[in-house]
Structure formats: C-alpha cells, structure tokens
Structure 1
Amino acid sequence: MADADVRTAVVSDAAEIARIQLSTWRSAYSELLPETALDELNQEETERHWLEAIEDDSAKVLLAEEGGWTVGFCAGGTAPTSETANADGGLPDDASTVGLVSTLLVEPRWGRRGHGGRLLWHLAEHLRGNGVTRAITWVPESDEASMAFYRGAGWEPDGTVRTLDAQGHPLRELRLTGGVDLRLE
C-alpha cells in the first residue's frame, strides 16, 4: 500500500469530498435508498454543504489520503442535545460530553485498507481533546459493512432507533455508541 495519511480538510477540498460522498452513496447505498433519491443528489449543493462544514468551527472534517489520492472523509463534533436523547426523550447524564460522528465514508474501491479506522481514530483523538467522553453515530440498520466496522471499533447499538423518510421509503437507522479512547493498529 502506498503512503496513507489523514489530514484536516480545507476549503479547496469541498468538491472532492462531495464527489466521494455522491459516488459512494450511489454505489454503496443503491439498495438502501430509492433510485430517485440517489438521482437527485447534486454535486454543487453537496459541495456547498461541505464548504460550510469545513468553515464551521463546530465540526471537524478530516480526509483520508493514499498515494496522493483523497479516498475518504469523516466529520464530527460535539453532539447536539437532540442527538443524545434516550429513546424515552430524556437526556443521559453525560449528554454534555457526547460527540457525534456525522459522516464517515471511504470510497468502496479504497475499502479494507485501514482508511476508515484511521479516520475514526483521528476524529476520536480530536473529540477527546475537546472533552468528549464517548461518541454516537447513526447507521442504516441494513448497512452490514458499516455495522461491522463500528462493532470492530467497540461501538454497539444503544437501543435508540430513528426512521428517516427517503422519498416515501422508510430508512431505519440505529444509533451506535462507543468510546473515544481508540487504538490505531
């Protein structure tokens, strides 16, 4: 494997992040999301979203690179209170120190090379440095690859479920939680 690294995204990375997100969703989520929803994904709009995220201090956006190619990215920060609520609506005692991994994607053709683990480790390191004690993420229930990835990092479903409307098709997601004291092997 060529040299692999993780770095903080800059404004000029927004177009590449958008390209990775759209191409990954179109290939990896083609069985989870309706074709019409995938067809409506827009490079310009997605790029604008990532430009705003990179410029916003409340989130950290990281890129995985290999041999000069950007191969994946992740984003996260302190979890909004609405994301930390228990299934019954109450807040856990540690709500103020919970982080959120909002996105972690590696292009399928670059998969199984450790990029996802490096991204999660670097984001966890950033979160720990900001007082986060554990983190959460949402994963489509039928996304077996992502479920296996997070379970491999010691994260597990915490019993909280949400259902998103993907153009009239329900997309059930499980909230996973785990520690931010990860090991990079």
Structure 2
Amino acid sequence: MNTGHITYQAPGVDDAAAIALLHLTSWKETYSGMIPPGILENADLADRTARWRGYLEVTGAPTYLARADGEAAGFIRAGPVKEPVAEGADGHIFALYILKRFHRLGIGRRRGTGSTRAARRSPSGC
C-alpha cells in the first residue's frame, strides 16, 4: 500500500457510512482486550452511520476526513471549548480516530492544529 498521498476533506452527509465504519473499526483495533468484548461486538454500524449523519448535518463543529491514496484512513472532529482547561486553550478535539495501518504517517498531527484553529472560529460546539 502506498500511503504517500494523504488528503483531507470536510466530509458531507454522504461520507457518514465511511466515517462510521472507520470509527467502529478503529474502536475494535484500539480497545480490543481493554473493554468487555460484547461492547465492541454489539456496536451497530447502522446506528453509528445514523449518528454520523446527524453530526455532519450540524454546522459549527469542524470534521475532517483523512484519505490515504483515496482510502478513508482517519477523521478528526473539533469545536470550541466550553470551559478552557488551560490558558489559551480555546479549541478542543472531540474525536480523533485513525486506522491502525495508517498510524505514524502524521495524519493526526497535520490535521489537529488546523482543526482546533477552525474550532476557535466556530460559533458553536458539537
């Protein structure tokens, strides 16, 4: 797999299924062995897709989908903080998930800074 070409896009509602699958797959890769297996086994793709459709219909919480050579590789969702936890902290990353095979490519680092900047300009949170 060539992962030299990484792009970022603001996803639309049509991307909800891809993000939901990525979200669940990342959960399973990351949390398997840490949480009871039934929780991961019972995670419902249709439910997660519906949730993502709702999230993506709401403005004010920037979401970015990373693609490596066209394949959905990860996503980040950010927004303004309601209560700053540190001086100058006015943007917050609500979710950052990257499929394991795309770890260590700088996907989170590259998009994280831009996401929190966009979140600061956003009038509302998630």
Q: Same fold (TM over 0.5)?
A: yes
Change in 2 beyond 3 A, CA 1:105/1:22: same
Structure-2 residue corresponding to 1:117: 109
SS of alignment partner, residue 66 of structure 2: strand
Q: Over aligned residue pairs, what C-alpha RMSD do you find?
A: 2.3
Q: Could you list the per-position Cα deviations for residues 116-166 of structure 1 after superposition, in whole angstroms to 9, with x for gaps in the alignment?
A: 1122122023124348xxxxxxxxxxxxxxxxxxxxxxxxxxxxxxxxxxx
**Equivalent residue runs for 1:1-185 within 5 Å:** 1-79=3-81, 81=82, 84=83, 98-130=90-122
SS of alignment partner, residue 91 of structure 2: strand
Identity across matched positions, percent:
24
Q: Could you list the per-position Cα deviations for residues 81-122 of structure 1 after superposition, in whole angstroms to 9, with x for gaps in the alignment?
A: 4xx387xxxxx887xx73321100100011111111122122
Change in 2 beyond 3 A, CA 1:39/1:127: same
Unmatched 5+ stretches in structure 1 = 87-91, 132-185
Question: Higher helix share goes to which structure?
Answer: 2
Which is bigger in relative contact order (C-alpha 8 A, separation at least 6)? 2
Instruction: Please report the TM-score for the alignment, with normalisation by the length of structure 2.
Output: 0.84
Unmatched 5+ stretches in structure 2 = none
Change in 2 beyond 3 A, CA 1:85/1:110: closer
Q: Output the CA distance in 1 between the equivalents of 2:105 and 2:36.
A: 29
Residue 57 of structure 1 aligns with an amino acid whose one-letter code is T
Equivalent residues of 2:91, 2:117 under 8 A apart: no
Structure exhibiting the larger radius of gyration computed from Cα positions: 1
Residue 30 of structure 1 aligns with an amino acid whose one-letter code is S
Question: Higher strand share goes to which structure?
Answer: 1
Instruction: Please report the TM-score for the alignment, with normalisation by the length of structure 1.
Output: 0.59
SS of alignment partner, residue 9 of structure 1: coil
Q: Output the CA distance in 1 between the equivalents of 2:122 and 2:61.
A: 11
